[in-house]
Amino acid sequence: MRHIISLLMENESGGLSRVAGLFSARGYNIESLTVAPTEDATLSRMTIVTKGSEDVIEQIIKQLNKLVDVVKVLDLTEGSHIERELMLVKVRASGKDREEMKRMADIFRGRIIDVADMTYTIELTGTGSKLDAFLEALDDGAILETVRTGASGIGRGDRILKV
Amino acid sequence: MELTGAEIVVNCLAEEGVEFVFGYPGGAVLNIYDAIFKQNKFKHVLVRHEQAAVHAADAFSRASGKVGVALVTSGPGVTNAVTGIATAYMDSIPVVIISGQVPTPAIGLDAFQEVDAVGVTRPCVKHNFLVKDVKDLAATIKKAFHIAATGRPGPVLVDIPKDVTAHKTEFVYPDSVSMRSYNPVLKGHAGQVKKAAQMLLEAKRPMIYTGGGVILGNASEQVTELAKLLHFPCTNTLMGLGGYPASDRQFLGMPGMHGTYEANMAMQHSDVLLAVGARFDDRVIGNPAHFAREQRRIIHIDVDPSSISKRVKVDVPIVGDVKQVLDELLKLLKASKEKPDEPALNTWWTQIELWRSRNCLKYNRESEIIKPQYVVEKLWEATKGDAFVTSDVGQHQMWAAQFYKFDKPRRWINSGGLGTMGVGLPYAMGVQLAHPDAQVACVTGESSIQMCIQELSTCKQYRLPVKIVNLNNRYMGMVRQWQEFFYGSRYAESYMDSLPDFVKLAESYGHVGMRIEKPADVEAALKEAFSPALKERLVFMDFITDQTENVYPMVEGGKGLSEMILAEEL
């Protein structure tokens, strides 16, 4: 099962490598990992998307909690949550494709954020599967470059991850 | 008053009550060594290789319960220390390792003797620090000692660049540590403890299985009291030996790959298993699927939540300090009106005695060649069962664990998790320094001992009267045994050719050497080695033992606990 794990850790050098090292050393899988400081500059928030059986996920959470720098860990997928990922896609946009690309971006509620003679750069936000769907919808030859942030997540309503 | 970083290091160690620092100097730690030269709060022990510094610090901790301290230089100093650090990590031993680092402006520039110490050690420390500012130094060292010793203990490395040891700042040693990210749970969940008590009282075929956590958590008194109160059988893992007195009738011996028949059968066939400070390691329960075939309920007490339900699903997990939890459990059991099921227990004990009557540790006592088991038995007699015994890794380690009956905790010092050959001698040094008047024996083999043999020199310098019991079978015995069983007796590279004359070798370091070739001479040699005449001397006893002796019983890798190979079956 796919799980989204959120964690808060001390914003100190080496934090990311401790988490990444834990996953590689114990053979856990990382689909994506994002990290940035929070509104409290002493804390970093990390979102890790991983896959594994319930036993493996339980171990991952325990092992993350065991890292001395980690303050809190939450499996977002255990409850109601929101997941978002940002993607930037550079597409071929010339001739009649230009209008078609604009339409596609609109359908997926993307925004064109850079315009050049032959290309558009589209910004798209959503769940991972929505971004996948957008790429599917485009003609293979039209995609010049993509970059994705990996998922960020947050609990709904009163589910708050805070120190 | 402002102090240099080096002086701060020395003052912090003094504040922590450190008695011995095991180390080896080098460029990046010269400021620290200069500060050590000018103080007399603690003693520095100069080893002959950094690996031994960490091993000795580790053993000092195992034998004393205090935090061990090692000091090494940058680059090769750190990489040499890694084996020692990983050894301590696998067995959860609190050690603080201080390593020198190249000056901060040189970090990342491939400077002379530079290695990313924090990166290299990350997978084998509980935590590590790189101190970039002298103002953070004292607080970091305080944290290092706190993290090493609390919760599930482990090694912590503090990497200090050379310029930081020269910079000055006001020295304030914090009284306490508060970390929002690190607060180990010590008190067990009351409801769970209650459930555990009930389950124990209902047991028909109970078994108490305790590991290194009981030794580290100083809970052997509680384990003994619990087993006695309920009249339950008890087994201690390799790391847990001494947790329950081995000479007591309720002790079934060690479980696992080379555990006794009765301990393994009782583990496998128990209906309620109480695991305390143990982690269902692959060498203890064998194949987890086979282990799970028998229906049993498991209570697991451990300070580390990640040890629980890692390899084996448990029914009543209790996270907490083993001593505190056992105290709570004892309180409930003593207050309870219910008593254990006596008829069921009697039937269970009858079954256990039947298993015990297989006498699974028997060996040929008529042999004209020295049997290694015999040497360990005689060692136990010569030391009246009261020595501290260190071992290396291999057959001799298993024989020492099987045949030396440890009645007290912290007496058996070995590398259980990592299985590091070469620990025996440096371990004996650390133990002897922790207990200067105690008898310390190092049970080793001709292959293991050569991995840290240079420490004979350290023993001479500090007059450490360790008694080395070398079970010399001219083979890497355990490798040979596996090759005999599983590789058609093709003894690939396991024969130890061109051995030194250990007697002369010992003598060349200024010690006493003995060679013992006949069973009839074993007892006299041990008596002499432990006699008052040689009390102050290191004695190297080279026992020429049977080359073909194997360790039994044996649970083959991937097999189940009840599928043991016994001596008579071969």
Whether B30 shows a pLDDT value over 80: the answer reads: yes
A63–B contact, CB cutoff 8 A: yes
Same domain for B453 and B540, yes or no, is yes
C-alpha distance from residue A26 to each of A3, A32, B69, B144 (Å): 17, 17, 28, 24
B467 with B517, same domain?
yes
pLDDT of residue B569: 55
- Can you tell me the mean pLDDT for A4-28? 95
Full DSSP string of B407-470: -STT-EE---SS--TT-HHHHHHHHHHHSTTS-EEEEEETTTGGGSGGGHHHHHHTT---EEEE
Are A105 and A47 contained in the same domain?
A: no
Question: What are the backbone dihedrals phi and psi of residue B313, each rounded to the nearest 5 degrees, phi first?
Answer: -70, 135
Of residues B179, B226, B436, the one with CA closest to residue B331: B226
Q: Are residues A56 and A100 in the same domain?
A: no
Chain B's closest residue to A24, CA to CA, is B123
Distance CA(B124)–CA(B87), nearest Å, equals 8
Q: ipTM value of the model?
A: 0.93
The average pLDDT across A58-71 equals 97
CATH of the domain at B303: 3.40.50.1220
Residues A98 and A55 in one domain: no
| pLDDT tens by residue, B218-228 | 999 999 999 99
The answer to whether A53 contacts chain B (CB < 8 Å) is: no
Are both B217 and B346 inside the same structural domain?
Answer: yes
Contact: A9, B181; criterion CB under 8 Å:
yes
Residues of B involved in catalysis: 50, 112-113, 162, 478
In this structure, are B491 and B528 located in the same domain? yes
Domain count, chain B: 3
Q: Compute the radius of gyration of chain B from its Cα atoms.
A: 24
Q: Which residues pair with B335 in a beta bridge?
A: none
| Whether residue B288 sits in one domain with residue B412 | no
State residue A143's pLDDT score: 96
Q: Does residue A100 lie within any of the structural domains?
A: yes
DSSP B316-384: EEEES-HHHHHHHHHHHHHH-S----HHHHHHHHHHHHHHHTT-TT---TT-SSBPHHHHHHHHHHHTT
| pLDDT tens digits for range B90-118 | 999 999 999 999 999 999 999 999 999 99
B336 shares its domain with B436 = no
Domain residues for the domain of A102 are: 82-152
Contact B130 A63 (CB under 8 A): no
Is A159 a domain residue? no
Same domain, B299 and B378: no
pLDDT reported for residue B1: 85
Q: Is residue B396 part of a domain?
A: yes
> In chain A, which residue's Cα lies nearest the Cα of B122?
A18
B560 located within any domain: no
Q: Is the pLDDT of residue B75 over 60?
A: yes
Predicted pLDDT at A96? 86
Measured over the CA atoms of residue B219, residue B225, residue B228 and residue B232, the dihedral's sign is negative
Substitution target in A9, A62, A70 with the highest count of B β-carbons within 10 Å is A62
pTM above 0.95, yes or no: yes
- Domain membership flag for residue A129: yes
Residue that terminates a domain, selected from A34, A62, A79: A79
CA–CA dist B318, B555 (Å, integer): 29
Which regions of B245-288 does DSSP assign to beta strands (E)?
Answer: 272-276
A54 in the same domain as A122:
no
Domain count, chain A: 2
Question: B180 touching A, CB under 8 A?
Answer: yes
Which of B457, B562, B471 is closest to B525 using CA atoms? Answer: B471
Angle at B451 between CA B447 and CA B453, to 5 degrees: 100
**Are B140 and B228 within one domain?**
no
The residue-averaged pLDDT of B172-199 equals 96
Q: A18 touching B, CB under 8 A?
A: yes
**Are residues A97 and A122 in contact, defined by beta-carbon separation less than 8 angstroms?**
no
Q: Is B185 a domain residue?
A: no
Co-location of A87 and A52 in the same domain: no
Per the CB < 8 Å rule, is B180 touching A66?
A: no
Domain assignment present for A157: no
Tens of pLDDT, residue by residue over B495-546, are 999 999 999 999 999 999 999 999 999 999 999 999 999 999 999 999 999 9
Q: Say whether A13 and B130 touch across the interface (CB within 8 A).
A: yes
What is the domain-level CATH number for residue A52? 3.30.70.260
Q: Is residue A126 part of a domain?
A: yes
Give me the pLDDT at residue B432, please: 98
Question: Where a domain ends, among A56, A79, A102?
Answer: A79
Q: Does A17 touch chain B (CB under 8 A)?
A: yes
Q: Assess whether pLDDT exceeds 90 at residue B53.
A: yes
Q: What is the pLDDT of residues B476-496, one digit of tens each?
A: 999 999 999 999 999 999 999
Q: How far apart are CA B159 and CA B86, in angstroms?
A: 16
Residue of chain A minimizing CA distance to B310: A59
What whole-number distance in Å separates Cα of residue B524 and Cα of residue B173?
Answer: 54
Question: A89 and A65 in one domain?
Answer: no
Both B133 and B210 in a single domain?
no
Residue with tokens 């990489």: B79
pLDDT at A66 over 60: yes
Residue at A109: amino acid letter: R
Local structure of residue B208 (DSSP, 8 states): E
CB contact under 8 A, A68 and B126: yes
Q: Indicate whether A162 belongs to any domain.
A: no
- Pair A23, A71 in one domain: yes
Give DSSP secondary structure letters for B514-540. EEE-SHHHHHHHHHHHTSGGGTTS-EE
Q: Are A74 and A86 part of one and the same domain?
A: no
Position B238 pLDDT exceeds 60: yes
The phi-psi region of residue B493 (left if phi > 0; otherwise alpha if psi is between -120 and 50; otherwise beta) is left
Final residue belonging to a domain, choices B170, B200, B228? B170
Q: What mean pLDDT comes out for the span B544-550?
A: 97
% of chain B beyond a pLDDT of 70: 100
- Whole-angstrom CA distances from A52 to A27, A55, A58, B536 are 11, 8, 9, 59
On whether any CB of chain A is under 8 Å from the CB of B411, the answer is: no
Q: What is the dihedral of CA B355, B360, B365, B370, to 10 degrees?
A: -160
The CATH number of whichever domain residue B536 belongs to comes to: 3.40.50.970
Residue at B516 is within a domain: yes
Residue B121 located in a structural domain = yes
Tell me, what's the pLDDT at B568?
73
Residue B554 lies in a domain: no
Q: What is the pLDDT of residues B404-444, one digit of tens each?
A: 999 999 999 999 999 999 999 999 999 999 999 999 999 99
Q: Count the alpha carbons within 13 Å of A35 in the hemisphere toward its beta carbon.
A: 20
Q: Same structural domain for residues A86 and A42? A: no
Residues of A in contact with B304 (CB under 8 A): 66
Instruction: Quote the mean pLDDT of chain B.
Output: 97
Do A64 and A118 fall into the same domain?
Answer: no
Residue found by looking up tokens 């061109």 in the block: B498
Q: A100 and A58 share a domain?
A: no
The residues near B458 (Cβ < 8 Å, ≥ 6 apart) are B45, B46, B47, B48, B52, B429, B464
In terms of domains, do B395 and B313 share one?
A: no
Say which CATH number the domain at A112 has: 3.30.70.1150
B221 and B351 inside one domain: yes
Which of B306, B307, B309, B311 would you mutate first to test chain A, the one with the most A CBs within 10 A? Answer: B306
B306 touches chain A (CB under 8 A): yes
Angle at B397 between CA B434 and CA B534, to 5 degrees: 50
Residue A12 placed within a domain: yes
pLDDT at B16: 98
Distance between A67 CA and the closest CA of chain B, angstroms? 8
Domain end: A27, A62, A79, which one? A79
3-state secondary structure labels for all residues of B37-71: HCCCCCEEEECCCHHHHHHHHHHHHHHHCCCEEEE
- State the residue range of the domain holding B476: 372-544
**Residue type, position B78, single letter:** V
Q: Is B87 helix (H, G, I), strand (E, B) or coil?
A: helix
Residue of B nearest to A57 (CA): B310
Per the domain annotation, does B531 fall within a domain? yes
Any domain includes A119: yes
Same domain, B8 and B139: yes
CB B476 within 8 A of CB B394: yes
Calculate the average pLDDT of chain A.
96
Q: Please check whether residues A74 and A89 belong to one and the same domain.
A: no
